[in-house]
Structure 1
Amino acid sequence: MKFRMGELFSGPGGLALGAKLAGFIDNTGEKWGFEHAWANDFDKDTVETYKLNILHDSDADTVFCEDVSDLPIGDKSILPDIDALAFGFPCNDYSNVGKQKGLNGIYGPLYSYGVKVMKYYQPKVFVAENVGGLSSANEGYALVKILEEFQARGYHITPNLYKFEEYGVPQARHRIIIVGIRNDLYEQGIHYHVPAQTTPDPKDMRTSQQAIEVPPIPINVPNNEMPNTTKRVVERLSYIPEGENAWYLGIPENLRLHVRGAKLSSIYKRLDHTKPAYTVTGSGGGGTHMYHWKENRALTNRERARLQTFPDNFEFIGSKESVRKQIGMAVPPEGAKVVMEAVLKTFAGIKYDSVKPTEKLQLKNLEKGNTPILKGLGK
């Protein structure tokens, strides 16, 4: 059975690739999977990356490069019916890095376009993704409002905080993913369960070194240009041990940064080769590009892409900074695969190992304005 999938805020294709990888054949010989119906993103380079890697430049007219407010949601001659909706609604206003404006920001209300798709298309299932900081935005009210609106559109929802390093992704990336099953299907016994972690033990987690070096990155692979590193940055990095950042006490005074706060940040932070990487981000100025555990340099975009579990043949389109942004904003395909495969197995009636969803994220346990309930989930 194929689920025709529509996407909003598709990014370069992390969720879409995860959905592709999730397909399987059951013991009756039936094929289960997702197939592309249409997608949308605002950024031109991101859309070109999606077309090249997800569609291999075919059906290019099904990917819309425009503001989501201009997307003709409901016009089924342009955006046909779908069985599944996937949307990683923009996280800028919910991230713990920044002012966390939440619903009051420019990006915060964009989840409502997902609600609009639910209204006009009533897909069987939706998968929505956002940062862990969503749980504390607007003193916890943002998450409550979003979950209530998803539920009001006729869906049984299962929010959960996924720690991707516990699912084989070589990166400590914590994201809230909300899976919604349409109520009539839920009442028929289609019940989604959170898939069990595949690498819950730290000693089994994929490390940054394993991701980057095993196998070695091939010569001439796309997006692997070495970064330009100034002599001063090289010298500063030479004093920073792996796992430490720009505030390491062993850095000579003349090479130290004199910036207030942020001492626990990732500024000029080296990877620890024995652990998963810290979170790959898509923006930030000097000192935020992620740094090799041994070599005195920032990572290449291909190395960042490996930490995000994109295959080496996945080519990102655009300038170095554009590619960096695309990689950092994406959903790790291998993480997405875990969720999308669980969705397919749910509909196929195939049992899989599961765990209880994050208790504090369930709507019945949320209290508007009560930040202590949500404390710590966004870390």
Structure 2
Amino acid sequence: MQQKQTDSNITNTLPPLNKSRNFSVVSYFSGCGGLDLGIVGGFLYKDKEYSKLPFQILGAYDHDIKCIDTYKANIGDHAKKEDLSEADPSTMPAAEVLIGGFPCQDFSSCGPQGGLATIRGQMYKAMIRYMNHHKPKLVIGENVPHLAKMGGGSILETILTDFRDAGYRFEVWTMQAKDYGVPQGRVRLIFVGVREDLEGFPVMPTPTNEVNSIEWAIGDLINITDDSVPNQSQFFKANKAKKGNGQGDEANRADEPAYTIRANAKSRVHFHYKLERRLTVRECARIQTFPDSFVFAHSKTSSIMQIGNAVPPVLAHHVGTSIADYLQNIAERKDTRD
């Protein structure tokens, strides 16, 4: 679902950009940091460098201490364990950008589908409390595509109305990760909000048409059985379901993008395209576009949960590039007026 953009062409009419400053960011529901890594940039994935973007994360918050441990080990020590359902935004730094993949379990087609009737389903309001208090210039949210279908679209409209009532114009970008070079089929809703007093709007990233297969992503790992590549020795040895074709029991196809990497604590991780085993923790991380230098130090179950819940950093980098262009443009416009 892509809503009508507002004044997007402003980015095509402004003077050359001044890229000398960083924009401050606060991250809610940060998980292990996939969205954050992509927004900040400066990482290497499959021998391709994803450039450093002009963002500085002041604080990252999540309720799961294992996610916070992973974040600190790989991104930075600005992460903190926090129950965002009770958090007071006045105790957090004011930032120009708020990002957050608010909990999706009750909006997912694979989950309990409790929608807005559950505590988790109401967690997006934590972002609104921050917006009301600190008034960031821009807000980025992320969730699953099934949210748009629930209640005939009424749940999505409720969330958007609540976001807009905080004083923001919002669009929802429907983004298929495989259209942006991510080697898996993974559709996500990206919520983009701009404070009402600011002109223009970020432009939805144009698909790269660089479709990569699972073999492209993990083919070089096929003969590696130790942790010379971190987390490659870790995989679940569960057999296929005895009855029917249980979710997660499908085998990937070598020449196609992988099935969606899901946060699955029940060992139902998809099978390798060639080997008679499920995907390893590192293979799942590769498919999610985490660099090999990004290490997951917890159990297989915890690591798969962290990886499956994350936004693919490469997808996030495309979003971050668009956001950076917009913020640099309005900063340049202000400088020109002054």
State the TM bucket, normalised to the shorter chain: 0.7 to 0.9
Q: 1:155 aligns with which of 156, 168, 174?
A: 168
**TM-score normalised over the length of structure 2:** 0.83
Q: Name the larger-Rg structure.
A: 1
Q: Is the 8 A contact 2:236 2:280 kept in 1?
A: no
CA distance in 1 between counterparts of 2:151 and 2:116 reads 7
Q: CA deviation at 1:2?
A: 1.0
Q: Is the 8 A contact 1:95 1:133 kept in 2?
A: yes
Residue 112 (structure 2) pairs with residue 99 (structure 1): yes
Q: 1:119 aligns with which of 132, 135, 144?
A: 132
Q: Is the 8 A contact 2:168 2:193 kept in 1?
A: yes
**TM-score normalised over the length of structure 1:** 0.75
Matches within 5 A, 1:208-227: 208-214=214-220, 220-227=228-235
Q: 2:261 aligns with which of 265, 275, 280?
A: 280
Cα distance per residue 1:192-250 (max 9 Å; x no partner):
11111001xxxx410001011258779522222243526xx3xx6xxxxxxxxx7xxxx
The aligned amino acid for 1:325 is: M
Q: Is the 8 A contact 2:53 2:321 kept in 1?
A: no
The aligned amino acid for 1:308 is: Q
Cα distance per residue 1:120-173 (max 9 Å; x no partner):
011011100000011022332210011111111111112111001001100100
CA distance in 2 between counterparts of 1:339 and 1:32 reads 11
Q: 1:63 aligns with which of 50, 65, 79?
A: 79
Residue 238 (structure 2) pairs with residue 271 (structure 1): no
Structure 2 residues without counterparts, runs of 5 or longer:
1-20, 44-51, 331-338
Q: Is the 8 A contact 1:22 1:338 kept in 2?
A: no
- For the residue of structure 2 that corresponds to 1:185, the secondary structure is coil
Q: Is the 8 A contact 2:53 2:320 kept in 1?
A: no
Cα distance per residue 1:313-343 (max 9 Å; x no partner):
0012311110010000000000000001001
Q: CA RMSD in A?
A: 2.1
The aligned amino acid for 1:195 is: P
CA distance in 2 between counterparts of 1:159 and 1:49 reads 29
Structure 2 equivalent of residue 307 of structure 1: 287
CA distance in 1 between counterparts of 2:95 and 2:117 reads 31
Structure 1 equivalent of residue 277 of structure 2: 297
Give identity over the alignment, percent.
35
Structure 1 residues without counterparts, runs of 5 or longer:
24-30, 237-245, 247-256, 351-379
Structure 2 equivalent of residue 335 of structure 1: 315
**Aligned residue-pair number:** 300
Q: CA deviation at 1:81?
A: 1.1
- For the residue of structure 2 that corresponds to 1:127, the secondary structure is strand
Distance 1:268 1:171, change over 3 A: same
Q: CA deviation at 1:21?
A: 1.1
Q: Is the 8 A contact 1:130 1:176 kept in 2?
A: yes
Cα distance per residue 1:53-99 (max 9 Å; x no partner):
111xxxx3x42212112322123xxx121010000001000001133
Structure 1 equivalent of residue 34 of structure 2: 14
Matches within 5 A, 1:178-217: 178-186=191-199, 190-199=200-209, 204-214=210-220
Runs of 4+ with >6 A deviation? 215-218
CA distance in 2 between counterparts of 1:313 and 1:338 reads 21
Residue 117 (structure 2) pairs with residue 131 (structure 1): no
